[in-house]
Structure formats: C-alpha cells, structure tokens
Amino acid sequence: MKPAQRPASPFFSSGPCAKRPGWSPQALADACLGRSHRSKAGKAKLALAIDKTRALLGVPADYRIGIVPGSDTGAVEMALWSLLGPRGVDMLAWESFGSGWVTDVLKQLRLDDVRTLKADYGELPDLSRIEDDRDVVFTWNGTTSGVRVPNGDWLGDNRLGLAICDATSAVFAMELPWDKLDVVTYSWQKVLGGEAAHGMLILSPRAVERLESYAPPWPLPKLFRMTKNGKLIEGIFTGATINTPSMLCLEDYLDALGWVESIGGLAAMITRSQANLAAITDWVAATAWVDFLATDPATRSNTSVCLKIVDAGFAALDADARAALVKKLVGLLEAEGVAYDIGGYRDAPPGLRIWAGGTVETADIQALLPWLDWAFATVNEI
Ligand SMILES: Cc1ncc(COP(=O)(O)O)c(C=O)c1O
C-alpha cells in the first residue's frame, strides 16, 4: 500500500540542498543588479554577507572571511595552492571529496612529504596519528559516506602545522572549534540551500602569517592570489572580491542568513538537523533492510545521511544488480514526487543518501520514511 501522506517538500538532495522553508524568487527582489559590485551599494552587500557570516557562525574577530570564486572547490584549492609546502602534510580521506584533495596534493602539487591516511566508506582514518608539527587537510563531514569527524579533540591545542578544513556540508549544521582550525571553506548551496557560485574562505591569523611568509614555488593564477608583495590583500576579506561575483547569488545567500537569524541562529540550525537525523535513526532501528553506512554512531553525519541496504536478498545480488535496484527505487520515488536525488554517491556502496540539514523540515523526513519501505518492497516485487 502506498503511504497516504507525502512530504510537503520532496527536496532531499545533498547539494544543492533544499532551499529554506517559504523561499520564493521574491526573496531576491532587493538584489543589487545591474550595478558594479564595486559600487558603494554592491560593496555594502558583500560586506554585510561577511559580517553576518561572522556573527552567525561565531567566527573569531581576528579571522578573515573572504568570498572567492569557484564554490567550495575554489576556496579549498586557493588554500592548498597558496599554503602547502613549507611543512609536511597529512591528508585525510574517507570518501570521494577527501580523496579528491589527496589527488590534488600528490598529483598536481607533487609535494614530497605527504602522509595519506585513508579509510573505507563508513569509517574514519586513525585520527590519533595526526602530528602537531605537520599541516593537515580534511573534510569535516564526508558528504558521500555520511561520516564526519566527531569533534576537534584530535587536533592539538598548540599545533605548529595548519589545519585546513573543507567544511562545506558541516557549517550551519555542526559545531566547529574555530580556535583549532586555520582554514575553513564552504559553499552557499550546501546546508543553507543557497545558490552555487562562490566559495567562503575563512583564515586564522596563523594562516595569514603563512601566506605572508611563504611564497610557493609554483605559479599561482590570479584567481588564487591572496597576497601582493608579501602582504595579504585585505580587500578580499572586506568585500572587494578578486573578480566579479554574482549579486543575485549573493542576495540569495543574504536571504538564507536572514532566515537562519530569524529561527534562532546556528543553534537552531543544529537542532533542526539533529531532529532530522533522530527521525531517520528511529526508522533505521525499526527497519530490517537498512543500516547507516557510518559504523560508529559518534561519526554519523546529521546532514548527508548515508544508508546501506543490508537485506539478505540484496546482498546476494551482484554489484550491477544492486546498483540497478537502487536506481529503480530512487526513480520510483522521484516519479511519485516524493523524494528527489536520494541515491547514494556514484563511488559509494549502493544505497541511499538523505539530506537532513536545517532547511529540511522534520515532518517531511517523517513523511518520506514510509515511502522508502514502500519503494523497497515494490522494487523487490517487480
Ligand atoms: C565535502 C565536500 N567538499 C567539496 C565539495 C564540492 O563543493 P562545490 O561544488 O561547492 O565546489 C562538496 C560538494 O558536495 C562536498 O560535499
């Protein structure tokens, strides 16, 4: 039997994520369009985005916040290309995005002193192996495996190396220990449900010190350059962007920040996301055919919730048949208008990935879950 109730909103994609409840294009009516981004009005909007980001996330006053090109990838690569080299670096990878940064460092930057600490989908690498005098690059939340670091306790209090953190599916959903992080990056379309365009690049004073004291031996394109004559280009971190930003996307980011403010800020976003995860957790506990991909509950993501299918019949299928079954299940739910984009990532074990960040209503998650049972039963009958 098909469940009687449908989610009011079927948007459960892990990026771009669901827009905030009540969003409409009307939210963009006040965008600074057709004007220079360097006009007084344009710069004021960019500066406001930086100020609101700082206030809502609790970014320390002495950290720089920049709006940069190329979404989260752009922000991470600016950091890797500009900062790495003077110290050995530990690269952590436990899913696709972390593995991408390993490839950058090994195959593109070709650094000599690199330790790669890897783990399979569902696990974390051994964080106790991280050393204070080495740089470390990691994702806070591995979006494609639904495994996050539980906290920052494994980063020493007196580190000499920089901690470079891709936090794109963690900010506005998880607490970040700013005092232990030197670079934090994210993009607007994740968690906040903003529009994809720009990256946010947040730098600690120690990261700035590295930028001002070290010049990498490789060429840096203009899009990556954060210093001039050995000094930080401060303008980048006050709204004088390196190149032209989208003022429409910026307005949408400001709208998302305004909504976060209106519901009670970061704490409310975390609570909403945790409630979504709790709803899924209850259902998983009562459901024989699924389990979390993350093996340790302390590392389970509350944003990109990844589920594996543990049904014996499914396990007996070959890899192609398993992937085909998941595709059918996901297609069925999309055709019913119940859930969009909830298939696991292409490189992850075949399963489901449900976005549970704060823009998703818990009632919609609750309405979705019986449909998953229905769809699984239906594809097994076909
Ligand atoms: C952990 C992580 N890193 C990087 C990216 C790439 O982000 P973007 O498309 O904003 O460059 C994503 C996108 O989903 C992600 O989840």
Backbone phi and psi for residue 5, each to the nearest 5 degrees, phi listed first: -105, 140
Which numbered atom of ligand 1 lies nearest the CA of 143?
Answer: 16
Is residue 187 lining ligand 1, measured as CB closer than 6 Å? yes
Q: Tell me, what's the pLDDT at 31?
A: 98
Tell me the pTM: 0.98
Q: Cα 270 to the chain's mean position, in Å?
A: 14
In tens, the pLDDT along 214-272 reads 999 999 999 999 999 999 999 999 999 999 999 999 999 999 999 999 999 999 999 99
Is residue 139 lining ligand 1, measured as CB closer than 6 Å? yes
Start-to-end C-alpha separation, the chain? 15
- Token pair 């709790």 is at which residue? 278
Q: Please tell me the distance from the alpha carbon of residue 256 to that of residue 248, in angstroms, as a whole number.
A: 13
Q: Please tell me the distance from the alpha carbon of residue 89 to that of residue 276, in angstroms, as a whole number.
A: 36
Give Cβ neighbours of residue 344 (< 8 Å, ≥ 6 apart): 144, 293, 306, 307, 326, 350, 351, 352, 353
Which of 13, 71, 72 most suits a substitution to test ligand 1, by most atoms within 8 Å of the C-beta?
72
Q: Please tell me the distance from the alpha carbon of residue 59 to that of residue 169, in angstroms, as a whole number.
A: 17
In tens, the pLDDT along 42-92 reads 999 999 999 999 999 999 999 999 999 999 999 999 999 999 999 999 999
Q: Please tell me the distance from the alpha carbon of residue 338 to that of residue 367, in angstroms, as a whole number.
A: 9
Q: Tell me, what's the pLDDT at 347?
A: 85
Given a contact cutoff of 8 angstroms between Cβ atoms, the answer to whether 294 and 300 are in contact is yes
Report CA(168)–ligand 1 centroid distance (Å). Answer: 6
| Position 346 pLDDT exceeds 90 | no
Which numbered atom of ligand 1 lies nearest the CA of 167?
Answer: 1
Q: Tell me, what's the pLDDT at 117?
A: 98
In tens, the pLDDT along 9-46 reads 999 999 999 999 999 999 999 999 999 999 999 999 99
Burial code (b: 16+ CB inside 10 Å, e: under 16) for 256-292 equals bbebbeeeebbeebbebbbbbbebbbebbeebebbbb
> Average pLDDT, stretch 287-308?
98
3-state secondary structure (DSSP) of residue 80? helix
Report CA(328)–ligand 1 centroid distance (Å). Answer: 26
Q: Is the peptide bond before 25 cis (omega within 30 degrees of 0)?
A: no
Q: Tokens at residue 249, please?
A: 């996307």
Which numbered atom of ligand 1 lies nearest the CA of 15?
Answer: 14
In tens, the pLDDT along 141-153 reads 999 999 999 999 9
Given a contact cutoff of 8 angstroms between Cβ atoms, the answer to whether 198 and 67 are in contact is yes
Is residue 82 lining ligand 1, measured as CB closer than 6 Å? no
> Average pLDDT, stretch 132-148?
98
Report CA(97)–ligand 1 centroid distance (Å). Answer: 7
